[in-house]
Chain A
Amino acid sequence: AQTVTQSQPEMSVQEAETVTLSCTYDTSESDYYLFWYKQPPSRQMILVIRQEAYKQQNATENRFSVNFQKAAKSFSLKISDSQLGDAAMYFCAYRREAHQGGSEKLVFGKGTKLTVNP
Chain B
Amino acid sequence: AAGVIQSPRHLIKEKRETATLKCYPIPRHDTVYWYQQGPGQDPQFLISFYEKMQSDKGSIPDRFSAQQFSDYHSELNMSSLELGDSALYFCASSLATVETQYFGPGTRLLVL
Contacts and interface: CB of A to CB of B under 8 A. Distances in A.
A and B found bound together: yes
Contact of A44 (B31, B35, B105): B105
16 contacts: A43-B37, A44-B106, A45-B90, A45-B92, A45-B103, A50-B99, A91-B43, A95-B101, A101-B50, A101-B96, A103-B55, A103-B94, A105-B56, A106-B33, A106-B43, A110-B42
Interface in A13-37: 33, 35, 37
Contacts of A102: 31, 50, 55-56, 96
Interface residues of B, number: 28
Interface of B: 31, 33, 35, 37, 42-45, 48-51, 55-56, 58, 88, 90, 92, 94, 96-97, 99-103, 105-106
**Which secondary structure dominates where chain B touches chain A?**
strand
A47 B68 CA distance: 24
B56 A104 contact: yes
B106 A43 contact: yes
Interface of A: 33, 35, 37, 42-47, 50, 52, 91, 95, 97-98, 101-111
A46 B104 CA distance: 9
Given A105-B33, A110-B42, A95 B90 contact: no
Contacts of B31: 102-103
Contacts of A52: 99
B99 A95 contact: yes
B88 A43 contact: yes
Given A35-B100, A45-B43, A102-B50, 8 more contacts: A43-B37, A45-B106, A91-B43, A103-B33, A106-B45, A107-B45, A108-B43, A110-B42
